[in-house]
């Protein structure tokens, strides 16, 4: 496929270290609160990317961390550990809230049809890994100790700013208003690999290390976890666009300095979901969650559909009106799929042609909206229903909109509702508990009542051709299969 690469600012064919196999890494959630639907936009798009790579025939090993330590309130090593803040807010221990919000995250993912990565690793489970890397970085002269902490020395790098050509002013993340600058740093963008002297005496989780009892910085987690489970050569690294700097920039700095060779050539960044008033944030009071969408009567998959309608490299504006529109369109789509009949044989040649087109279109920098267009193209096409269903099932292995499952459910619900209606009046159908047949018989009775004999005969013939024998009885009909 063609993918835009944030590191080169270009769209190019995606090439992996081992042809046909993708080592993929995703920055996981910081589990101090629920994920907001902005976070989940990133995970939805990364999920489609993984599924598309598999659809192309690759094997994929996808790894994700769970940040349960070390992510401070500011991405530049200042402020309080977010986990500690969450624990204090809820009068629980850090591990309790980590477990609670990790489970909540995967529950949201399940509702949004986001597949669980092959490996999910909490950051607190890989301390030895970070210690090994930090020790080597100190030995190689890429790190230094100051004021009790271990820092990465960005001045030792040939090139630090990988994703952008910011000037120094833009990158002054360490000197945000009201936040004390860390005077131990030799260079402004140096970052903490290991904290031993934290301003926060009550930091909950601490481990022994060659530099004293402490805890790892946020960036080292992802390098350590990725190297452990993806190996030395990572093919594809994903995250939201806010992760590009400083998080991913620092991951590259420490990983390549440690390995002594290039680490990951392809960087995939999902742009933000914003509200009309700006960026979505977990720390700003009430925020939008999957549960809130459900409480308001939305199907979480309508939100997935909404995300797929637009390109991952564009900011997306969330509003209830936009979600209403997406939900309306999604429901109509399901209705159209439900109208397809499960009969006949799929035309293998036609399936191959449409699949190829889907591969080309979605394969152009993960163009998910064209993926949805491909679904409508199939529905409109001059193909038999079996072929259409085969194609929809195939595309849905990537889009994961539960098209045929939802359609089956809709048919079932409608049949049930209609069957119930058939006994509601003075006409009762008794049979073998098949709502669709009940419904046909009911429609035949209705047609007779309306003196629409042609329709009544047509239904009688259809029932006959399906091997159903109908006997009229007072107040209704009884049927059985012959
Ligand atoms: P966090 O739980 O804060 O570590 O973030 C989890 C993921 O969500 C990261 O990949 C972030 O880059 C991403 N993210 C954060 N805010 C947004 C947003 N508004 N829209 C899309 N992705 C986001
Ligand atoms: Zn990360």
* Tens-digit pLDDT profile for residues 92-132: 988 999 999 999 999 999 999 999 999 999 999 999 999 99
**How far apart are the CA of 287 and the centre of ligand 2, in A?**
23
Q: pLDDT tens for the chain, 482 residues: list them.
A: 999 999 999 999 999 999 999 999 999 999 999 999 999 999 999 999 999 999 999 999 999 999 988 777 766 676 778 888 888 898 998 899 999 999 999 999 999 999 999 999 999 999 999 999 999 999 999 999 999 899 999 999 999 988 875 544 444 444 444 446 788 899 988 999 999 876 666 677 889 999 999 999 989 999 999 999 999 999 999 999 999 999 999 999 999 999 999 999 999 999 999 988 877 776 665 689 999 999 999 999 999 999 999 999 999 999 999 999 999 999 999 999 999 998 889 999 999 999 999 999 999 999 999 999 999 999 999 999 999 999 999 999 999 999 999 999 988 887 776 665 566 577 888 877 777 888 889 889 888 888 888 888 889 988 998 889 888 888 888 888 88
**How far apart are the CA of 390 and the centre of ligand 2, in A?**
38
Q: Specify the pairing of strand 273-275 against strand 72-74.
A: unpaired
Would the CB of 363 count as within 6 Å of ligand 1? no
Would the CB of 28 count as within 6 Å of ligand 1? no
Would the CB of 279 count as within 6 Å of ligand 1? yes
Three-class DSSP labels, the chain: CEEEECCCCEEEECCCCECCEEEEEECCCECCCCCCHHHHHHHHHHHHHHHHHHHCCCEEEEEEEEECCCCEEECCCEEEEHHHHHHHHHCCCHHHHHHHHHHHHHHHHHHCCCCCCCEEEEHHHCHHHHHHHHHHHHHCCCEEEECCEEEECHHHCCCCCCCCCCCCCCCCHHHCCCCCCCCCCCCCCCEEEEECCCCCCCCCCCECCCCCCEEECHHHHHHHHHHHHHCCCCCEEEEEHHHHHHHHHHHHHHHHHHHCCCCCCEEEEECCEEECCEECCCCCCCCCCHHHHHHCCCCHHHHHHHHHCCCCCCCEEECHHHHHHHHHHHHHHHHHHHCCCCCCCCCHHHHHHHHHHHHHHHCECCCHHHHHHHHHHHHHCCCCHHHHHHHHHHHHHHHCCCHHHHHHHHHHHHHHHHHHHHHHCCCEEECCCCHHHHHHHHHHHHHHHCCCHHHHHHHHHHHHHCCEEEEEECCEEEEEEC
Would the CB of 273 count as within 6 Å of ligand 1? yes
**pLDDT for position 200:** 61
Taking alpha carbons only, the member of 49, 47, 44, 48 closest to residue 5 is: 49
**pLDDT for position 421:** 54
**pLDDT for position 170:** 45
Taking alpha carbons only, the member of 84, 193, 203, 83 closest to residue 148 is: 193
pTM reported for the whole predicted model: 0.85
Strand partners, 5: 10
**pLDDT for position 113:** 98
CA distance 199 to 193: 16
**How far apart are the CA of 20 and the centre of ligand 2, in A?**
25
**How far apart are the CA of 83 and the centre of ligand 1, in A?**
16
CB 309 within 8 A of CB 44: no
Ligand index nearest the alpha carbon of residue 218: 2
**Which residue minimizes the CA distance to atom 7 of ligand 1?**
39
Residues lining ion ligand 2 (Cβ < 5 A) are 27, 222
**CA 55 centroid distance within chain:** 16
**pLDDT for position 169:** 44
**pLDDT for position 420:** 58
**pLDDT for position 178:** 44
Given the CA of residue 241, which atom of ligand 1 is nearest to it?
12
Would the CB of 270 count as within 6 Å of ligand 1? yes
Would the CB of 30 count as within 6 Å of ligand 1? yes
């Amino acid at each position: 496929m063609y993918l835009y690469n944030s590191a080169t600012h270009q769209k190019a064919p995606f090439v992996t270290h081992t042809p046909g196999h993708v080592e993929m890494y995703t920055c996981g959630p910081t589990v101090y609160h629920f994920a907001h639907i902005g976070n989940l936009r990133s995970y939805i798009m990364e999920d489609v990317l993984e599924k598309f790579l598999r659809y192309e025939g690759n094997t994929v090993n996808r790894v994700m961390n769970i940040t349960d330590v070390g992510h401070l309130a500011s991405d530049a090593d200042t402020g309080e550990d977010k986990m500690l803040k969450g624990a204090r807010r809820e009068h629980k221990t850090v591990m309790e809230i980590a477990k609670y919000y990790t489970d909540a995250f995967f529950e949201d993912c399940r509702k949004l049809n986001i597949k669980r990565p092959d490996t999910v690793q909490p950051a607190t489970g890989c301390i030895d890994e970070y210690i090994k890397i930090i020790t080597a970085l100190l030995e190689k002269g890429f790190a230094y100790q100051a004021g009790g902490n271990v820092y990465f020395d960005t001045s030792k790098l040939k090139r630090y700013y990988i994703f952008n050509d910011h000037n120094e002013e833009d990158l002054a993340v360490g000197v945000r208003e009201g936040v004390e600058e860390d005077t131990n740093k030799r260079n402004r963008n140096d970052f903490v690999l290991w904290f031993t002297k934290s301003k926060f005496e009550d930091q909950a989780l601490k481990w022994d290390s060659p530099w004293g009892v402490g805890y790892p910085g946020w960036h080292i987690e992802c390098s350590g976890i990725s190297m452990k489970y993806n190996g030395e050569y990572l093919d594809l690294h994903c995250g939201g666009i806010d992760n590009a700097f400083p998080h991913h920039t620092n991951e590259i700095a420490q990983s390549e300095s440690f390995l002594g060779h290039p680490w990951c050539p392809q960087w995939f960044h999902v742009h933000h979901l914003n509200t009309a008033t700006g960026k979505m944030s977990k720390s700003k009071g009430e925020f939008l969650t999957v549960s809130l969408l459900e409480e308001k009567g939305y199907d979480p998959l309508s939100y997935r559909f909404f995300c797929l309608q637009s390109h991952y490299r564009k900011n997306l504006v969330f509003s209830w009106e936009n979600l209403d529109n997406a939900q309306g369109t999604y429901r109509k789509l399901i209705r159209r799929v439900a109208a397809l009949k499960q009969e006949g044989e799929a035309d293998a040649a036609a399936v191959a042609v449409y699949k190829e087109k889907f591969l080309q279109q979605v394969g152009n920098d993960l163009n998910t909206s064209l993926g949805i267009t491909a679904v409508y193209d199939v529905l409109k096409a001059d193909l038999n229903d079996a072929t259409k269903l085969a194609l929809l099932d195939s595309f849905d292995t990537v889009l994961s909109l539960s098209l045929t499952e939802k359609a089956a459910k809709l048919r079932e619900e409608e049949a049930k509702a209609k069957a119930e209606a058939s006994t509601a009046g003075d006409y009762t159908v008794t049979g073998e508990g098949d709502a669709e047949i009940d419904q046909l018989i009911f429609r035949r009775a209705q047609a007779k009542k309306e003196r629409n004999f042609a329709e009544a005969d047509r239904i009688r013939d259809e029932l006959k051709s399906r091997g159903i024998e109908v006997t009229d009885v007072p107040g209704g009909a009884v049927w059985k299969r012959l």
